[in-house]
Homo-oligomer: A and B are copies of this chain.
């Protein structure tokens, strides 16, 4: 594919606007985004920002997708270099805890769940589809550790994934109140016990 200079300049500008929008959404949620304050934040006119996104909803969807791509790049993609099985699963969970630590002050993806889980619409669909995708990926990583023989065949990946997700939510919830170190230590202990329970003899 070849890009004309103006198309690629437009795409750089779009990424710059999205970076700023993502930072704003970390603080105020995706529902807190407005084209007006975003335009002010990037020093452009409102119509200039509008030219890159057809509507506020398109902007919100794009910000959600930035979150998905960053999460995937930081938590999932590096794990693909690890051998499938328990090592990869442990790597994913550790990288996920790191994501929570870095997201201190606001995780766009988790905030989006509280914002849109009860509000039917395009954003609700996008959030549900994103969460389903991540849960399926997590289930698959668990199932691979069964395939390698490291976890017992009677593991229920959906149950295991729910419990792992719950621990991450516990870290997210507690770390802002009582500090990351204590919360992550509780969660690691619980995750290690979960693995030990289902580890093949």
Given contacts A106-B118, A114-B114, A118-B104, A163 and B186 within 8 Å (CB-CB):
yes
In the complex, the answer to whether A117 meets B177 with C-beta atoms within 8 Å is yes
Contact A177 B111 (CB under 8 A): no
Indicate with 1 or 0, residue by residue over A112-155, a CB within 8 angstroms of chain B CB atoms: 01100110000000011001100000000000000000000000
* A6 close to B (CB within 8 Å): no
Q: Nearest Cβ in chain B — how far from A94, in angstroms?
A: 17
Among B105, B158, B162, which residue has its beta carbon within 8 angstroms of that of A170? Answer: B162
From B117, B169, B189, A169 is in contact (CB under 8 Å) with B169
A127 contact set on B, CB distance < 8 A: 177
Return the contact of A158 from the options B162, B173, B186 (Cβ within 8 A).
Answer: B186
Indicate the member of A158, A190, A197 with the most B CB atoms within 10 Å: A190
Q: Mark A179-201, 1 if CB is under 8 A from B, else 0.
A: 00001001101100100010000
Q: What is the predominant secondary structure among interface residues of chain A facing chain B? A: helix
Is A159 located at the chain interface by the 8 A CB criterion? yes
A127 CA / B177 CA spacing, docked (Å): 8
- Chain A residues touching B, range: 20 to 34
Residues of B within 8 A of A176 (CB): 113-114, 117-118
Q: How far is it, in angstroms, between the C-alpha of A29 and the C-alpha of B128 when the chains are bound?
A: 21
In the assembled complex, 5 residue pairs joining A and B whose CB atoms fall closer than 8 Å, in A order, are A105-B118, A114-B176, A131-B177, A163-B170, A166-B167
Chain B residue nearest in CB terms to A111: B114
Q: Is the CB of B162 within 8 A of A190?
A: yes
Residues of B within 8 A of A113 (CB): 173, 176-177
Q: In the complex, which residues of chain B have a beta carbon less than 8 angstroms from the beta carbon of A159? A: 186, 189-190
Q: A174 near B: Cβ within 8 Å?
A: yes
Taking the nearest CB of chain B, how far is it from the CB of A174, in angstroms? 7
A91 CB within 8 Å of chain B: no
The residue of chain B having its C-beta at the shortest distance from the C-beta of A169 within the complex is: B169
Flag whether A165 is at the interface (Cβ < 8 A): yes
